[in-house]
């Protein structure tokens, strides 16, 4: 195959030498022809080519040249990392020996326009270079010539593009690493801000490759970077770039691989590496970019057809054979394929552990809430968001988060939460869970956030959007509350009294149906807790809702006495029964005992009265002693407080 390529190139060498010799003196315009031409639609071009009878005529050659140029430009422009394996066979089907100048020019222009695809163009050139080394050599010579011109003219954009292309050609082993070291020496010989910046970018791109193939040369380059950094004559920005390069080297160029796995298309033994020095004279062969008639056009086209078959023929035959074999076995393997597809689908179910979808959902909810004009628009937009089962809670959480972040409470959030509670019971249950969570973690919130959250839930309770039995989670005692929870309860009930009125609020709290839910707010298990609840609501200006609690505390001694008298009465009842049974027996025995029974009954009654009076007196003493103890404790507390104030 290489002999055929050499024959094709040899047939064109005399004309190339003549063009190079006449390049400086000016070539004949009629011989070189037009580089572009008028645009011809593809269907019209195909029709014109069919109408030409003489396939070796200049007119037909010009038409095929235009078609070749358009085809190569189109393939190079649409290549990327995903479709490069499909583009390469199409590119080899074009006559790359005749259009090698067009291919090199198209690659350089495309790389200049989009430098982020430089590694893709380098991979494409590496594959072409394995079959046609002359194409890779021509491209490398043109890039080096472009680099030298840009360096002399101080054209930074062109220099950056050329340097990046050379770096990736070194990574693909199309260019030898000696050119990379020469380039670094030239850039760092007389350092300027721009030259050092270009050198840093170059080492970043091909440093991973140089570390493997030429570690000593890379060490020398970094020593020069260190010297420039110590001299301190360059700009601060460039110094930071050098420091970042040292950090990248320390991380072993992580994030900057020599060749990406999807672009590693050529085996190392198949690659041909070109050695070009920056100091040697380079001929760009620009005449290959323009049309020139070829007297051996048909013969050269046939030779390239043979080459194309030798390059692509085996692959096409393998594809045909595989298609035929698959056609024979289609009927037998339908069931197996369907089972394999099902298994693949089961295996392809991906569990996202990074919660990316959840973060995107929260972002969407936040942007919708903050960008809406009123709560009706926000509710309409939020209902359109497709929520997966279990994600309804995120809506409530984000609504509370947005509400708590405001400087002052906005009624907009309360109306929006009320709307969702009225629409769906699921949201109501989620807000109930949120109430429990917020109250349990209320000590973590700042005062402003705490106030907004309390007013939000007060709005939901005042509008009956949230059931009142959620208040059962609040236990109002000195031991079970903190300063934050007391502030929360204070703001909650003050907002409820403003929204409903003290009378309506009192009626709600004294509802016999909901009495069990409010026992934790108005505790009656201990006089101490009862007094604490009364004092708390009185201090926040809501003493009116504690009337029942005050009445209960007032009647508590009498209730205690009644509870203690019940067992005494039961004992007296048992004594009466025993006495009645004894008297009945005595009546049946003799008449003398009947005359003495009234006096004995009176004595017993006197004894019982005396006992009951003694018990009542003992109960009173106990109650008085408990009151004295409470007063003594209060005096001790007040004295301690006064002592603290005096110390302050």
Q: Mean of the pLDDT values across residues 433-439?
A: 91
* Spatial separation of the C-alpha atoms in residues 140 and 169, rounded to whole Å: 8
Check if the beta carbon of residue 193 is closer than 8 Å to that of residue 240.
no
For the ranges 130-144, 163-177, 191-205, 599-613, the lowest mean pLDDT is seen at 599-613
* Spatial separation of the C-alpha atoms in residues 224 and 207, rounded to whole Å: 15
* Spatial separation of the C-alpha atoms in residues 95 and 118, rounded to whole Å: 23
Q: How many beta carbons lie within 10 A of that of residue 12, not counting itself?
A: 17
Per-residue pLDDT band for 161 (boundaries 50, 70, 90) equals: very high
Per-residue pLDDT band for 348 (boundaries 50, 70, 90) equals: low
Across the chain, mean pLDDT equals: 79
Residue in 347, 329, 414 with CA at minimum distance from that of residue 379: 414
Most confident of 358-367, 570-579, 617-626: 358-367
**Residues counted in the chain:** 648
Q: Which residue has the higher pLDDT, 22 or 434?
A: 434
Question: According to the model, what pLDDT value does residue 458 have?
Answer: 93
Q: Mean of the pLDDT values across residues 600-620?
A: 61
Question: According to the model, what pLDDT value does residue 224 have?
Answer: 93
pLDDT of 75 above 70: yes
pLDDT of 5 above 80: no
User: Which letter does DSSP use for residue 274 in this model?
Assistant: B
Question: According to the model, what pLDDT value does residue 645 have?
Answer: 73
Tens digit of pLDDT for each residue in 374-415?
889 998 889 888 888 878 888 899 999 999 999 999 999 999
Residue percentage of the chain with pLDDT more than 90: 33
Q: Which residue has the higher pLDDT, 261 or 333?
A: 261
Q: What is the pTM of this model?
A: 0.46
For the ranges 284-298, 463-477, 587-601, the lowest mean pLDDT is seen at 587-601
Q: Is 101 exposed, middle or buried (0-12, 13-18, 19+ CB in 10 A)?
A: buried
Check if the beta carbon of residue 612 is closer than 8 Å to that of residue 575.
no
- Residue 520's φ and ψ, nearest 5 degrees, are -75, -25
For the ranges 239-248, 334-343, 442-451, 592-601, the lowest mean pLDDT is seen at 592-601
Question: According to the model, what pLDDT value does residue 28 have?
Answer: 38
Q: Mean of the pLDDT values across residues 16-25?
A: 37
Tens digit of pLDDT for each residue in 416-425?
999 999 888 8
Check if the beta carbon of residue 403 is closer than 8 Å to that of residue 409.
yes
* Spatial separation of the C-alpha atoms in residues 368 and 278, rounded to whole Å: 59
Give the CA diameter of the chain. 169
For the ranges 23-37, 85-99, 169-183, 395-409, the lowest mean pLDDT is seen at 23-37
Cα separations in angstroms, 304 against 95, 297, 309, 389: 7, 11, 9, 63
Per-residue pLDDT band for 43 (boundaries 50, 70, 90) equals: low
Residue in 461, 535, 449 with CA at minimum distance from that of residue 493: 461
Question: According to the model, what pLDDT value does residue 327 have?
Answer: 47
* Spatial separation of the C-alpha atoms in residues 162 and 68, rounded to whole Å: 26
Question: According to the model, what pLDDT value does residue 552 have?
Answer: 84
Question: According to the model, what pLDDT value does residue 332 have?
Answer: 46
Q: Which residue has the higher pLDDT, 431 or 17?
A: 431
Q: Mean of the pLDDT values across residues 447-462?
A: 93
pLDDT of 140 above 80: yes
Q: Which two tokens stand for residue 247?
A: 């950090």
Question: According to the model, what pLDDT value does residue 520 have?
Answer: 86
Cα separations in angstroms, 233 against 111, 239, 402: 33, 9, 51
3-class secondary structure, 456: helix
Question: According to the model, what pLDDT value does residue 108 have?
Answer: 93
pLDDT of 517 above 50: yes
For the ranges 109-113, 246-250, 315-319, 561-565, the lowest mean pLDDT is seen at 315-319
Per-residue pLDDT band for 347 (boundaries 50, 70, 90) equals: low
Q: Mean of the pLDDT values across residues 123-146?
A: 92
* Spatial separation of the C-alpha atoms in residues 121 and 108, rounded to whole Å: 9
pLDDT of 466 above 80: yes
Question: According to the model, what pLDDT value does residue 343 have?
Answer: 53
């Amino acid at each position: 195959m290489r002999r055929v390529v050499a024959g094709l190139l040899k047939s064109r060498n005399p004309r190339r030498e003549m063009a190079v010799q006449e390049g400086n003196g000016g070539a004949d315009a009629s011989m070189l022809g037009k580089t572009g031409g008028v645009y011809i639609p593809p269907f019209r071009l195909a029709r014109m080519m069919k109408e030409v009878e003489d396939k070796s005529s200049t007119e037909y050659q010009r038409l095929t040249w235009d078609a070749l140029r358009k085809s190569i430009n189109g393939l190079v422009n649409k290549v990327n990392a995903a479709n490069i394996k499909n583009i390469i066979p199409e590119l080899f089907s074009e006559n790359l020996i005749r259009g090698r100048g067009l291919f090199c020019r198209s690659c350089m222009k495309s790389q200049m326009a989009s430098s982020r695809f430089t590694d893709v163009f380098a991979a494409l050139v590496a594959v072409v270079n394995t079959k046609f080394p002359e194409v890779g050599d021509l491209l490398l010579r043109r890039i080096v010539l472009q680099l030298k011109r840009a360096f002399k003219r101080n054209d930074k954009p062109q220099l950056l593009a050329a340097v990046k292309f050379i770096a990736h050609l070194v990574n693909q082993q199309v260019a030898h690493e000696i050119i990379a070291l020469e380039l670094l020496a030239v850039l760092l010989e007389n350092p300027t801000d721009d030259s050092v910046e270009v050198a840093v970018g170059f080492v970043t791109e091909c440093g991973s490759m140089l570390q493997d193939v030429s570690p000593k040369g890379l060490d020398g380059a970094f020593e020069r970077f260190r010297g420039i950094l110590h001299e301190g004559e360059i700009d601060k920005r460039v110094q930071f770039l050098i420091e970042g390069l040292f950090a990248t080297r320390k991380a072993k160029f992580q994030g900057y691989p020599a060749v990406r796995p999807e672009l590693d298309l050529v085996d190392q033994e198949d690659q041909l590496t070109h050695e070009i020095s920056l100091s040697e004279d380079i001929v760009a062969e620009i005449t290959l970019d323009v049309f020139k008639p070829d007297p051996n056009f048909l013969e050269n086209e046939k030779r390239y057809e043979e080459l194309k078959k030798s390059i692509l023929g085996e692959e096409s035959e393998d594809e045909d054979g595989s298609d035929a074999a698959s056609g024979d076995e289609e009927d037998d393997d339908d069931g197996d394929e369907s089972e394999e597809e099902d298994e693949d689908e089961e295996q392809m179910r991906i569990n996202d552990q990074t919660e990316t979808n959840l973060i995107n959902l929260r972002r969407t909810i936040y942007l919708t809430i903050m960008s809406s004009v009123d709560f009706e628009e926000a509710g309409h937009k939020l209902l359109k968001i497709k929520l997966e089962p279990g994600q309804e809670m995120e809506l409530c959480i984000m609504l509370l988060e947005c509400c708590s972040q405001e400087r002052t409470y906005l009624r907009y959030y309360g109306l929006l939460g009320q709307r969702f509670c009225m629409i769906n019971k699921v949201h109501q249950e989620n807000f109930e869970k949120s109430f429990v969570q917020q109250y349990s973690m209320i000590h973590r919130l700042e005062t402003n956030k705490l106030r907004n959250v309390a007013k939000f839930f007060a709005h939901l309770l005042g509008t009956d959007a949230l059931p009142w039995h959620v208040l059962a989670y609040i236990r109002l005692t000195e031991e079970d509350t903190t300063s934050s929870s007391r502030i929360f309860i204070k703001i909650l009930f003050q907002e409820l009294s403003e929204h409903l009125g003290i009378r309506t609020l009192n009626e709600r709290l004294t509802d016999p149906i909901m009495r069990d839910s409010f026992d934790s707010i108005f505790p009656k298990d201990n006089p101490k807790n009862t007094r604490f609840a009364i004092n708390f609501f009185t201090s926040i200006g809501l003493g009116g809702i504690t009337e029942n609690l005050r009445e209960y505390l007032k009647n508590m001694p009498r209730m205690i006495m009644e509870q203690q008298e019940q067992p005494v009465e039961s004992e007296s009842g048992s004594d009466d029964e025993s006495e009645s049974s004894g008297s009945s027996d005595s009546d049946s025995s003799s008449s003398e005992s009947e005359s003495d029974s009234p006096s004995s009954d009176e004595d017993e009654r006197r004894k019982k009265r005396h006992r009951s009076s003694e018990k009542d007196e003992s109960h009173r003493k106990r109650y008085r002693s408990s009151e004295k103890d409470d007063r003594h404790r209060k005096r001790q507390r007040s004295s301690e407080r006064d002592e603290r104030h005096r110390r302050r």
